[in-house]
Structure 1
């Protein structure tokens, strides 16, 4: 969500853009050339007179290494024929810098930013103020690979007022977070990993009462951090895996869902029984992880990407320790769910100030040629990876040295094949892959619940209020769990939630949802 200073900058930007766009339009107006529509890469090349390709200028998100010297840049120059000068946004306050560059008409041929709400807001604002080129005509003429490779739903979701001003790089729709348990504690108490809420309660009671950690009455059955009032996996068993969920055809925030009271009753009861860390409200992420890796806690809410670090720290402290994720838990009515991301990892647009918009599209189109894209993303077979039985396995250390930051060069992905190519990244450590695969490959399809707002366009009320509403929900729920608030005050809280942007967000979100749901 944009901060106040960024909002003020956008107001100023309106006036600046109105002037700068007039100048920039003269260079951008050539984007709708009269060249005949081409079909296929060969026809696209034929549509342009032979001659040297211009050097392009691209603005990228921050990374720790210089794009210009990173191996992927050299490969792309050879594969596409385009030399590109890469610049980076700063790590600190990148939105402010981006505003200045766009307003001043800096002649970038491509600008790639994160796909987060704040950057989507800037993208929509730039498009509406005439600072960006409509890519539709350019893609029709010079982008056959773009049209073939990128999910049509993603392209549609990237439009502003019906026009496509950016090429989206789609977020991979994976489950990331669940409950990670000490398998050796389970073995000591003679139990299996829980699969239902009732089994979860039984396991946590055994962890508290039978001292599998050797900590006496100081065993912590389940630890979480203070920002985790909605505990992944447990919330899903109540039909609350995402912040907004479909309730009778309407996207509804968790705190307005009828199941919210049941979730609070369940988790507050766990807390009263001493089954949830009594200090959880004060826990930072690192605090909760330390409690787990030091052997004090038997279960933790965790992202699968943390497995190698957590496993190493745990076995260093307790060499015989073993841990694994538990399955998606089922509630009383059979509900289950782990939140899966959906949306844009990043977006790429062409400012009106670009000197080479047609070549920018041709460059991005060339990057999506199937073999070029695969080599850009994961390298060369038998040099950076091996391929066997449909699986890509990285060769180390060259894969990490030369392709670890390849994702920062993406301007759209081969959406049918990239999820498979991408798995080479989690095979860098088989513990990582096994954790990812348990939640995403082996789990039943119904366990994965995709964020229904993932492809929503920028919505002013929703974006403005989301962080405030999210913070309110977490704080109130945390207080309910450890008894600082009473459920009898829920109606008062809901009234405050609605007046603080909840009603406006609900209206805006569901006006959009009514148009897109099938």
Structure 2
């Protein structure tokens, strides 16, 4: 997502250089030899023979050197392509990318993150003619690409009707929910709450009975300051995602009738002393410290943090136990946990590439079924075991040799990769149990996918998204604290609309009308 306006300003500044570059660039027609398996199409199998060129790939930042990582060696041996990997910097990668594109650095593949900010840059490069149209190349050399990647993802990656990037789709899952001290529940003689009313009752018991023995330092529920729109709770008011379908129209939370009901509920938690009185000042680490030190009974937590949190909690309180609560149901039966959907990353080929055909052949070869599986999770009985369809990692070799494998992906086999990927959450069964509870055990209707996940680049929406989100977040915090009166919501909604909300709404729904069923 757009982190600040600087991203777009840099893109505009770079576009002049990009335009000049494209005007004088020429594309190589090196066809190299096929890297696809014998089972793929005749077009690939009969591509002209000859030595394969060394490719040059620019990747997202990771802590390990791509060139010495075991996956790189495996891919070279399997695809026949030697690749020189470079990385974008961890800090301000967009700025560096703009410079490299504008200067015509001859990368054969560039992989970036797939968020709104990079989608904006990608669309700008494509419109300026700095990228290679991949459609004809995929038709000729990419049967595995066409077979493996979700057609909806390929469609969403198009700019002005042409495909300039191969998307690597996000694994759709619920990330955050409410993590509660089970031993506190046991001490107050209650079950995990399943409705908003039950949640209030549990938090009152935590406050009044003080099962942690904290006295005036007791905190029934804590969250970090940047999460006033609290996942799970907000789903009980019908607005689990930032934008949600309301009567056939995608509508931002602030304009949904459920928003007022939510802030009334959250502000009431705050007034009763059930929500951390310091939550607005909490950094993520601050909230976690309150929970792991035993002061707080419930916290907003991502499942990826469970092992670290539980290790710290059990170090302080060896008998402590904690679990996720179910998806909460509101008074009118609404329920929902926001689930991810969209692009994890995108891979494009700049016009400056010397080997565009070979770059597609290389990416196509990576999606051959056996190659893809071994790239993603390694070799059976060496990196993982397979039993009853479940892939379980063998440690420490899985982490040593496949922990960064996801950074080598240039598209995934979208039908099977979610199953392979679960090996990653089985590295620690506490991790898996948390993920599994929200994403398998909980009913499917509790997981509400982001409806904008597969939206194409939308200029007005992208330009306004970060600013509007910040506005709504700050305003929501003030409402919960009582600094702003709830009676002022309508006035704020008008401010939201005039600050880009109206133009974003129109653009989003013009697109939504073309895809909804």
Do the two structures share a fold, i.e. TM-score over 0.5? yes
Partner of 2:294: 295
Partner of 2:214: 215
Residues 207 and 220 in structure 2, CA contact (< 8 A), matched pair in contact too: yes
Superposed CA deviations along residues 274-297 of structure 1, whole A, max 9, x for unmatched, are 111111111111111111111111
CA distance in 1 between partners of 2:492 and 2:293 (Å): 38
Q: Give the gaps of 5 or more residues in structure 1.
A: none
- Secondary structure of the 1:226 match is coil
- Alpha-carbon shift at residue 41 of structure 1 (Å): 2.3
Residues 306 and 431 in structure 2, CA contact (< 8 A), matched pair in contact too: yes
- Alpha-carbon shift at residue 39 of structure 1 (Å): 10
After TM superposition, the structure 1 stretch with the greater mean CA deviation from structure 2, 264-273 or 367-376, is: 264-273
- Alpha-carbon shift at residue 15 of structure 1 (Å): 2.4
Residue 498, structure 1, aligned to residue 497, structure 2:
yes
Partner of 1:17: 18
Give the 5 Å matches for 1:401-440.
Answer: 401-440=400-439
Give the 5 Å matches for 1:477-496.
Answer: 477-496=476-495
- Secondary structure of the 1:168 match is strand
Residues 32 and 137 in structure 1, CA contact (< 8 A), matched pair in contact too: no
After TM superposition, the structure 1 stretch with the greater mean CA deviation from structure 2, 75-84 or 48-57, is: 48-57
Q: Give the gaps of 5 or more residues in structure 2.
A: none
Residues 180 and 302 in structure 1, CA contact (< 8 A), matched pair in contact too: yes
Q: Decide whether aligned partners of structure 1 residues 247 and 42 sit closer, same or farther in structure 2, where only a CA change above 3 A counts.
A: closer
Superposed CA deviations along residues 291-348 of structure 1, whole A, max 9, x for unmatched, are 1111111101110111000001101101110000000010111111001001100000
- Alpha-carbon shift at residue 40 of structure 1 (Å): 5.2
Partner of 2:78: 79
- Secondary structure of the 2:375 match is helix
After TM superposition, the structure 1 stretch with the greater mean CA deviation from structure 2, 168-177 or 492-501, is: 492-501
- Secondary structure of the 2:386 match is strand
Superposed CA deviations along residues 490-511 of structure 1, whole A, max 9, x for unmatched, are 1221111111111111111111
CA distance in 2 between partners of 1:268 and 1:383 (Å): 53
Partner of 2:175: 176
Residues 21 and 102 in structure 2, CA contact (< 8 A), matched pair in contact too: yes
Partner of 2:396: 397
Partner of 1:88: 87
Give the 5 Å matches for 1:228-247.
Answer: 228-247=227-246
- Secondary structure of the 1:86 match is strand
- Alpha-carbon shift at residue 58 of structure 1 (Å): 0.6
Partner of 2:466: 467
Residues 31 and 47 in structure 2, CA contact (< 8 A), matched pair in contact too: no
- Secondary structure of the 2:111 match is strand
Partner of 2:117: 118
Residues 211 and 217 in structure 1, CA contact (< 8 A), matched pair in contact too: no
Residue 448, structure 1, aligned to residue 425, structure 2:
no
Residues 377 and 383 in structure 2, CA contact (< 8 A), matched pair in contact too: yes
- Alpha-carbon shift at residue 32 of structure 1 (Å): 10
CA distance in 1 between partners of 2:453 and 2:187 (Å): 42
- Secondary structure of the 1:169 match is strand
Partner of 1:68: 67
Partner of 1:156: 155
Superposed CA deviations along residues 7-65 of structure 1, whole A, max 9, x for unmatched, are 343333232222211332x225x4999x9xx9952624433222111111111111111
Residues 31 and 138 in structure 1, CA contact (< 8 A), matched pair in contact too: no
Residues 173 and 342 in structure 1, CA contact (< 8 A), matched pair in contact too: yes
RMSD value, Cα: 1.6
- Secondary structure of the 1:259 match is helix
Partner of 2:284: 285
CA distance in 2 between partners of 1:298 and 1:165 (Å): 49
Give the 5 Å matches for 1:107-146.
Answer: 107-146=106-145
Superposed CA deviations along residues 358-395 of structure 1, whole A, max 9, x for unmatched, are 11101000000000000000000011111111111111
- Alpha-carbon shift at residue 249 of structure 1 (Å): 0.8
Residues 2 and 464 in structure 1, CA contact (< 8 A), matched pair in contact too: no
- Alpha-carbon shift at residue 97 of structure 1 (Å): 1.0
CA distance in 1 between partners of 2:486 and 2:356 (Å): 58
Residues 32 and 138 in structure 1, CA contact (< 8 A), matched pair in contact too: no
Partner of 1:188: 187
CA distance in 2 between partners of 1:125 and 1:18 (Å): 11
CA distance in 2 between partners of 1:114 and 1:228 (Å): 23
Q: Decide whether aligned partners of structure 1 residues 459 and 294 sit closer, same or farther in structure 2, where only a CA change above 3 A counts.
A: same
- Secondary structure of the 1:16 match is helix
- Alpha-carbon shift at residue 211 of structure 1 (Å): 1.5
CA distance in 1 between partners of 2:30 and 2:120 (Å): 25
Give the 5 Å matches for 1:49-64.
Answer: 49-64=48-63
- Alpha-carbon shift at residue 2 of structure 1 (Å): 6.0
Residues 178 and 303 in structure 1, CA contact (< 8 A), matched pair in contact too: yes
TM-score (norm 1): 0.97
Partner of 1:198: 197
Residues 222 and 298 in structure 1, CA contact (< 8 A), matched pair in contact too: yes
